[in-house]
Amino acid sequence: MVKVNLPPLAEGVNKAVITYLYVANGDTVKEGDKLAELVTDKATFNLPSPGAGRVTQIFFKEGDEVSVGQTIFQIE
């Protein structure tokens, strides 16, 4: 099981808003597949999957604010 957290994106920027979820619960993903699009004051970021597996939990929805270090996805 892999937990996908929000990695450091820009110092002083500890939060990002999820603007798009590319995957839904139960989807199969491979390494590098886009999981979510997030936006900060300075840019838009795509968060890729760190490994292959099935998305078993999504802890946030579109429009939610996520802090660096928080788990967004669980992949098994």
Partner 1 sequence: MSSASIFPPWLKKTLLSAETVYRTYDAIKDAGANTVCEASQCPNLNECFSKGHATFLILGSVCTRPCGFCAAVCGQPLPPDPREGFRILKVVKSLAIDYVIITSVTRDDLPDGGAAHYGDVIETLRAYNERLQIELLIPDFKGMRRSIEFVASYSPDIFGHNIETVPRLYREVRPAADYNRSLDVLRWAKESRPGLVTKSAILLGFGEETDEVTECMKGLRSVGCDILNIGQYLRPSGRQISVKRFVEPAEFKDLEDIGYGMGFKSVSSGPFVRSSYNQKEVLRTW
Give which of 42, 43, 47, 44 is closest to 70, Cα–Cα: 47
* Segment interacting with partner 1 (CB under 8 A) among 7-15, 22-30, 53-61: 7-15
DSSP symbols for 11-75: TTB-EEEEEEES--TT-EE-TT-EEEEEE-SS-EEEEE-SS-EEEEEE---TT-EEETT-EEEEE
Site for partner 1 in 28-47 (CB under 8 A): 37-47
Nearest-approach distance from CB 66 to partner 1, in angstroms? 11
- Applying CB under 8 A, what is the total number of residues that bind partner 1? 28
Contact between 8 and partner 1 per CB under 8 A: yes
Contact between 1 and partner 1 per CB under 8 A: no
Nearest-approach distance from CB 20 to partner 1, in angstroms? 8
